[in-house]
Each structure stands twice: as structure tokens, then as C-alpha cells.
Structure 1
Amino acid sequence: MTPTATTDPAGSLDLVALYVPGDRPARYDKALAAPADVVILDLEDAVPATGKDDARAAARDWLSALHPTSRTRVSVRINAVGTAAGDADLAALACVTGLHSVRVPKVESPADVARVVAALGPVPVHALLESAAGVEAAAAIATAPQVAALALGEADLRSDLGVTADAGLAWSRSRVVVAARAAGLPAPMMSAWTDLADTDGLVASCRTGRAMGFLGRTAIHPKQIEPILSGFAPSTEEVAAAEELLDSLATAEASGRAVAVTTTGRMVDPAMIRGAQRTLAVHTHVRQRLGNPS
């Protein structure tokens, strides 16, 4: 018997979201076949101004023809709301239903989210906070109707803040983690790792992010998927400790006790259930994505 947590400890468990340039429609199907949880068709930064019309038309046509089950794995990153490109993106997507989400850059207030919902209806919105104003409004944005996730757009945020050292983003990262949790949203995904050659750095960064409360990451190339999964995977020791914690608490609960002591002498109580369940859920998800479900 396993004690029951009050909420899903692992959220949606989307650990990898793979970006695909919107102006490269030949890559759409290939991306969907990769072991990422979500495919993000990028109509924003990956597409030059001269290619945006063709990109949004290609994305709209592909999504319209896609099987509804597959469409639930596809998100679209639009251009910023209130811009001509953003308005055109929303108009193009108005006929598309059943998307995983719409990824909205440069969100600075709930009003930005409301414009997307007004155009598209009740679509899940992933709000990207990319400025000081966006970070300051994180709590209000997180509770806006249809917001399903928060994330930082760290490249733009660095520019806005004038930050050159990674430590300069520590407060903003913690802020978005807390805002998401307080609103009952899944733990935020980390921003993309742009150095494709530095796989070890990517894995290490994911482990650091996991320790800070992030869960999952966007990828800009399929070869980053496995390192991201590895970086967020709990260790063998963490899995064993989570299993023992849940077993010990289940035994204690059956005996009318609220706390238990593990074989290593660690006292555990029900407040630790959510963390242990998250560890096991992530462990199972990673193994399934890597083709090793046992």
C-alpha cells in the first residue's frame, strides 16, 4: 500500500520539448517521430521576417492534416502578442483545435494571455517570461485563465537585465519555480542549452536545474533529447530511497502511525510523499522514453 499525495507530484511529465523551425516543414514529421514528449513548431526566433508567412501557412496546413492524437503532442510558439506577426499567427491557428499548447513569448501581464485566449479559445497557454516586467508579474500570469505552464526565456531575459553571469539569473529562476508551484502548475521547464557540442555541460546543467525545482527542458536538436532525459533521471540510489520511503510510510499508516524510520535510520513522514512519488514517476517516464520500460 502506498500513501496517497494530495496532488499529482510530477505534473504533466513533459520532460523534453523539441523545437522545430517553422520554416522547415520537411522536419516536422521527423521531429514528431523523435522520443520527445512535445514538439514545438517555432514561428518566432527560428524564422526570419521574410519567411514568417510561409512558415505559419506550413504549420497551419500540417497541423490541420495531422491526426488529432498526434496534434496533442504539438505546441506552437507564436510571435509576441500585439505585433503584426503575432496577430497573423493567431489568425492562422484559429482553425486548429486540439493542440498541446500555444507557447507565448514575452508575456508581461495576464492581459497578454487574455489576447491569445480571445483569439483561439480555451487553448493551454505556456507563458514565457523574458523581461524584468514578466518576472515581476509571474504570480499574476501563473493564475491567469488558460495558463498551463510558465518558463523563462533566458536569452531575452539576460539582455533585458544586462546579466552576463549565470548567477545573475538565480533569483528569476527561483521566482518562476515558486510562482508555478503556488498556482498549482507543473514545475517549469528549463530554457534551451545552445551549445550543441557540450553534451556533458547539458547533462550537468539539467541536474542543477532539477535540484532548483525545474522539471524538463526544451531542446533545439534531437541529439539533446537523451542527455536531457539523463540529466533529469533520478539516480539508482534516489529511486531506492523513494521506494523505501513509500513502503515504510505505508507500513506505518497501516499500524496507525504517522511517521516511520527507514533501514538507514532516517525518520520520514507524510510530508515527504510528494517528493518520493515524483522521483518514481520521473524514473518511469525516462525509462519509457529511452525505450527501457522495465
Structure 2
Amino acid sequence: MTPYPLTWLYAPGDRPKVVAKALTAGADIVVVDLEDAVAPDRKDWARAATAELLSAAQPVPVHVRVNALDTPWAAADLRALAALPGLSGLRIPKVTAPEQITHIARTTPAADDGAPALYALLESALAIERAFPIASAHPALRGISLGEADLRTDLGVRGDAGLDWSRSRVVVAARAAGLPPPAQSIHPDIRDLDGLAASCAHGRTLGFLGRAAVHPRQLPVIERVYLPTEAELEQAETIVKAATAEQGAQALRDGTFIDAAVVAAARRTLALAHRT
């Protein structure tokens, strides 16, 4: 898997043909959804179909969003899927406490190469307040992100700007815990590509990296916004070249002051551009 995934494409677990198409759609990671996308009377069937899929390695990394821990299906999801060779990660929805992560990490069946990578979705005010304890709960946790639809309802937020504090809180918690930058939550209107692009640009300014998608047509928009521009690449190359001259902290002709933090950011920009 690329060290800088930018696109996570969701596909409903009870629709194997849609999952198969998602695997070839060009996303960095495919997320098979057993939670919101699957009706209660199809949960068991979706789990079985997903287990069959993940009994073998897949062409791209596959994560599974299992059902919330307080539902009747969560334990069965974890038992059936965690140790399968085609699984790259388990996405745990509606996490509210670090103890939930430690419990899963300690009790979930492990594959031959160790415990599955866990990803916590924070979808309530309580989860946001506990963002750092959750993010630092266990080494098996590899990332956190927001579930904005549920969070919006919990907070009673109408305008999009009302979520920005929570977004920044999650970005800071991930960084403080040594986790990768979070990916943005989905943009639900698959026809609104201009709105998606504007939302991604805003998310990038907040410190997010990449985004979840619900349709393949959203993938190139997300990549275009999150990949460095030509101007950003040129600036990063200039900074790295100046830094390798071993002249210490200095200012470029455009006034940019180069120190260790600036150089680190430039190297990350170059790595992101060559992430494949």
C-alpha cells in the first residue's frame, strides 16, 4: 500500500458486483461497508460474502467497516473477518472510548502477520472530546477519522463551518499520537463535483490528507486537489536543493525562510508526488 493513500472508496458489502467494480476503480483503498450501507436483514449475508472475498489476497488493500460495537453484529464481524488474508484493515465506527480499541486489539483473531490494523471513526461529541486518548490507545490503531453525518446530527450543526473545530481537533489528535493525517469524511452528493473540490481544498488547509468517496467519479477530484501542484513541487525542490547545500537556515530569493520544519514539509510534498 502506498504510504500516502489519498482515496478510500466505499462499497456495500451485500453487493459483491459493486465491490468487484470498486476494486478496479483506481482507489488507493477499497472499504467494504457492513454498517450503514447494509440493511439489518442482510447483515449476515453481507458478512459471509465479504469473508468469501477476503479469503484471498486482493489487487488493492481492502478495509472493512464493521458494525458498531453496541450492535448484535459487531462481534461476529470481527470473528469472521479479522484473520483473513485479504483484509488490510478494520474500520470501527462510532468509537467513543480508548478501551474499545484496546479490547478489540487484544481479543480479535490475528492473521499470520499479526493483529489487523484498526481505524477508529469518531462520530459523536464524546468521541471528539476523547480524540487523543482514542488515537493513542493501542499500537494496532493506525488511524482516526470523522464520521461527519452522525457528528453533524449529534451536534445539531447545520452549516458546514460548524464542524471545523471538530475537524481540527481530530487532525491535532492524530498528529499528537503519531498517526498519519486523517482523511476527510465523504461528500455525499456524487453529482456535486465542484462542491467536492472546494470541500477538499478546505480540508487540505485544515491538515487532512485524502478523502473517502462513495462513487468512482469522485476519485480523480480528490486526487487532483490533494496532490501537489506544479508550483508546490517546484518550490519543494528548490527548498530541498538549498537545504542539501549545507548552508544551514537561510532565506530563498522569494523570502521563504528555510529551517528544519520547512525542509521536512518540502520532502513530504515530494514524497506525496511520487507516492506510487
TM range (shorter): over 0.9
Q: Is the 8 A contact 1:94 1:120 kept in 2?
A: yes
> Where do residues 151-190 of structure 1 align in structure 2 (5 Å cutoff)?
151-190=145-184
Matched residue, 1:150: 144
For 2:130, the equivalent position in structure 1 comes to 137
Q: Which residue of 1 aligns with 2:188?
A: 194
Structure 2 match to 1:104: 92
Q: Could you say which residue in structure 2 is the equivalent of 1:245? A: 239
Q: Which has the higher contact order (CA 8 A, sep 6+)?
A: 1
Q: SS at the partner of 1:167? A: helix
Paired position in structure 2 for 1:90: 78
The size of the alignment, in residue pairs, is: 269
* Change in CA separation of 1:89 and 1:71 when aligned onto 2, cut-off 3 Å: farther
One-letter code of the match for 2:232? E
* Aligned-pair CA distance for 1:71: 7.0
SS in 1 for 2:73: helix
Deviation at 1:95, TM superposition (A): 4.2
**Aligned partners of 1:99 and 1:222: how far apart in 2?**
21
Q: What residue number does 1:284 align with? A: 274
Structure 1 moving runs of 4+ over 4 Å: none
C-alpha separation in 2, matches of 1:35 and 1:98:
18
Residue in 2 that maps onto 1:119: 108
Cα drift, residue 265 of structure 1: 3.4
C-alpha displacement of 1:32: 1.2
CA distance in 2, matches of 1:95, 1:239: 40
Q: What is the aligned counterpart of 1:266 among 256, 261, 271?
A: 256
**How far apart, in 1, do the equivalents of 2:191 and 2:60 lie?**
31
Give yes or no for contact 2:193–2:221 (8 Å, CA) kept in 1.
Answer: yes
| SS of corresponding position for 2:121 | strand
Tell me the CA shift for residue 31 of structure 1: 1.2
* Between structures 1 and 2, the one with greater helix share: 1
Q: Which of the residues 19, 23, 31 maps onto 1:28? A: 19
Separation in 2 of the partners of 1:173 and 1:94? Answer: 29
CA distance in 1, matches of 2:3, 2:153: 30
**Matched residue SS, 1:40:** strand
Q: Which runs of 5+ in 1 are unaligned?
A: 1-10, 289-294
Residues 20 and 27, structure 1, Cα contact 8 Å, conserved in 2: yes
Q: Secondary structure at the match of 1:91?
A: helix
Amino acid at match of 1:128: L
Amino acid across the alignment from 2:269? T
**Structure 1 position 245, deviation (Å):** 0.7
Over the matched positions of the two proteins, sequence identity in percent amounts to 46
Corresponding residue for residue 223 of structure 2: 229
1:3 corresponds in structure 2 to none
Shift of 1:98: 5.6
Q: Deviation digits for residues 137-174 of structure 1, max 9, x if unmatched?
A: 11011111111000000000011111111111111100
Counterpart CA distance in 1 for 2:41 and 2:86 is 29
Following TM superposition, by how much is the alpha carbon of 1:258 offset from its aligned partner in structure 2, in angstroms? Answer: 1.6
CA distance in 1, matches of 2:213, 2:188: 9
Assess if the C-alpha contact under 8 Å between 2:136 and 2:177 holds in 1: yes
Question: Residue 282 of structure 1: CA displacement?
Answer: 2.0
Between the aligned partners of 2:50 and 2:104, the Cα distance in structure 1 is: 17
Per the alignment, in what secondary structure is the counterpart of residue 162 of structure 2?
Answer: helix
Could you tell me which residue of structure 1 aligns to residue 265 of structure 2? 275
Q: Distance in 2 between matches of 1:45 and 1:167?
A: 25
Distance change >3 Å, CA 79–CA 71, structure 1 → 2: farther
Q: Shift of the alpha carbon at 1:27? A: 2.1
Q: Secondary structure at the match of 2:178?
A: coil
Q: Normalising by the residue count of structure 1, what TM-score does the alignment of the two structures yield?
A: 0.87
Q: TM-score of the superposition, structure 2-length normalised?
A: 0.93
Give deviations 1:185-240, integer Å, cap 9, x for gaps.
00000000111111111111111111110001001011111001011122211111
Task: Note the residue ranges of structure 2 that are not aligned, 5 or more in a row.
Answer: none
Which SS does the other structure have where 1:84 is aligned? coil
Letter matched to residue 168 of structure 1? G
